[in-house]
Structure 1
Amino acid sequence: MASPSLRYDLTGRTALVTGAGGLLGRQHVAALSEAGARVVVTEIGLAQAEAAVAALKQAAPSGDLIALALNVTAQDSVRAASDELAGRGITVDILVNNAAIDPKVTSSPGVMHSSRFEAFPVPQWQTEIAVGLTGAMLCAQEFGGLMARRGRGVILNIASDLGVIAPDQRLYRQPHVTREEEQPVKPVTYSVIKHGLIGLTKYLATYWADHGVRVNAISPGGVFNNQDPAFVERLTRLIPMGRMAEVDEYRAAVQFLCSDASSYMTGQNLVMDGGRSVW
């Protein structure tokens, strides 16, 4: 039996992370690289991907990182990225579906009204669903399909605590906004996408169970990123641990879910929210 440390070792494996230039995307890349994986760092444009690689290299110069343009909403782009990697002799062993649009809740004119469900714009719905949910499906279809043919692979979908619970819209209320229909809210798309990713996880886990492909999800809670102090105070009152997550606190969980340390785990959603969803 391999020692616990060896089970986390990803040396010799290649991971691909979508939306890797964002706050958590870079953390996922760092976690996988730290465990020994070569990581394909993808963003919608090559310049963004290269910028993410450059920033990550500053902290870990020895990391084996590859910048690649990938538009997760376009099947042709997903296939082109897959073909480019194959042409370079690179096989993707781990797929992390992280790409998403996380609309920030603000009271800016025009933003607060359109976030309300009654006025939510259909084009915005379609765009956000395309990135966060359809993109995960297309990437799983391409890279997961190749894993299934080889008989081995791991897919990790990045969901959210709001894929388990509904948003508490009281968190976003602004005292200076007098009209209820203008109070900002967390948009419907975020919840639908994150719930959908958990559903996709369960579907693919059973679909490819006999092809050696494990599929799991992780549902992080809110990460502290210098948000408005009033918002942070309201949110932390809902969290038993009394604080938001630090930006690097999900790294070990990503390593666990993407490595042989979780070899008998599939179709599951690992909730890491400081206890918020159980209170």
Structure 2
Amino acid sequence: MSAVLFSLQDKTILLTGGAGLYGRGLAAMLAQTGATIILAARDVVKLQFVADEETAKGHRVFAESLDQGDEASVLALHERVTAKFGALDGLVNNAVLRPMKGANGAAEQFAESMRVNATGIMLMHRHFGKTMAEAGRGSIVNIGSIQGMIGPSYELYTGTNMGDMPPDYFFHKGGMLNLTRFYAALYGPKSVRVNCLSPGGFFNNQPEPFLQRYCEHTMLNRMADDSDLGGSVIFLLSDASRYITGVNLPVDGGYTAK
């Protein structure tokens, strides 16, 4: 198979987020492909720092402002991006807001989570996906979570003081799976593919008891690091996956397969 199929050279990719636990690694790996990368999130200062780091390496990376839960902000970003770059070749929906910290979080926090992580994701598909469909090309990759596929594993947290698990994350990441299928069906006839990638846990200096239990539950006996998602995202953005749409791909070291 030709390496050209896996290439993103000269394509334009929008990555929401880009400075956080998942996003920084994705930004670095996408920048290395030769694509033009646009990072978008609320904290433009942090994004600009990432963009400057990658630009210093010779990559084309730009930072833009986005409040994903505000349709006016989504539309303003869409207008700026399309005016400068035209229709996107790829969109990676990675940004997430986590206002709830546990099962007893306030209802207002749950509602805020849905505004950004459910309504906001829909708006990104609606506005950017429509432009892709009009151009007759493109790939959307949604960054989900295995917590949208399975229930909580409370036993991992016993005795760790890591806090409680919030219901909003499970709800909106589960909903992302079927939203992916919806837009895959809507945009498929216009040659726009929509897929979801569901990561497992990332190593972030968690307490040793949690790490040991979690790693024992994976087939690869480890948590993910910031280089483990990029290859799968690049594959789903590239022409190598041109007949794949509406799919959820777990990238979890075998956690959900055990």
TM-score in same-fold range (> 0.5): yes
CA distance in 2, matches of 1:34, 1:13: 12
Report the equivalent of 1:141.
Answer: 126
Are 1:151 and 2:136 counterparts? yes
Task: Provide the identity percentage.
Answer: 33
Give the number of aligned pairs.
Answer: 258
Report the equivalent of 1:91.
Answer: 87
Letter in 2 for 1:155: I
Report the equivalent of 2:153.
Answer: 168
Q: Secondary structure at the match of 1:185?
A: coil
Are 1:81 and 2:77 counterparts? yes
8 Å Cα contact 1:174/1:184 also seen in 2: no
CA distance in 2, matches of 1:57, 1:92: 20
8 Å Cα contact 1:16/1:92 also seen in 2: yes
Q: Secondary structure at the match of 1:208?
A: helix
User: How big is the shift at 1:52?
Assistant: 2.3
Q: TM-score, normalised by structure 1?
A: 0.87
8 Å Cα contact 1:46/1:67 also seen in 2: yes
Correspondence for 1:259 among 227, 238, 252 = 238
1:75–1:67 CA distance, 2 compared to 1 (3 A): same
CA distance in 1, matches of 2:138, 2:3: 20
8 Å Cα contact 1:173/1:184 also seen in 2: no
Letter in 2 for 1:142: H
Letter in 1 for 2:190: H
CA distance in 1, matches of 2:146, 2:139: 22
- The structure whose Rg is larger is 1
Name stretches of at least 5 consecutive residues in structure 1 with no aligned partner.
105-110, 177-182
User: How big is the shift at 1:233?
Assistant: 1.2
User: How big is the shift at 1:242?
Assistant: 1.3
Are 1:271 and 2:250 counterparts? yes
CA distance in 2, matches of 1:102, 1:169: 19
Report the equivalent of 2:17.
Answer: 19
Question: What whole-Å deviation, never above 9, does each CA across 1:157-201 have from its counterpart, x for those lacking one?
Answer: 00111111111012223378xxxxxx9421111111111111111
8 Å Cα contact 1:103/1:187 also seen in 2: no
Report the equivalent of 1:179.
Answer: none
Question: After the TM superposition, which parts of structure 1 deviate over 3 Å for at least 4 consecutive aligned residues?
Answer: 55-58
RMSD of aligned Cα (Å): 1.9
**1:1-279 mapped onto 2 (5 Å cutoff):** 3-57=1-55, 61-102=57-98, 115-116=102-103, 119-174=104-159, 184-279=163-258
Q: TM-score, normalised by structure 2?
A: 0.93
Q: Which is further off, 38-47 or 27-36?
A: 27-36
CA distance in 1, matches of 2:160, 2:127: 47
CA distance in 2, matches of 1:87, 1:163: 35
CA distance in 1, matches of 2:242, 2:39: 24
User: How big is the shift at 1:90?
Assistant: 3.8
1:126–1:6 CA distance, 2 compared to 1 (3 A): same
8 Å Cα contact 1:99/1:135 also seen in 2: no
CA distance in 2, matches of 1:144, 1:14: 14
8 Å Cα contact 2:99/2:109 also seen in 1: no
User: How big is the shift at 1:36?
Assistant: 1.7
Name stretches of at least 5 consecutive residues in structure 2 with no aligned partner.
none
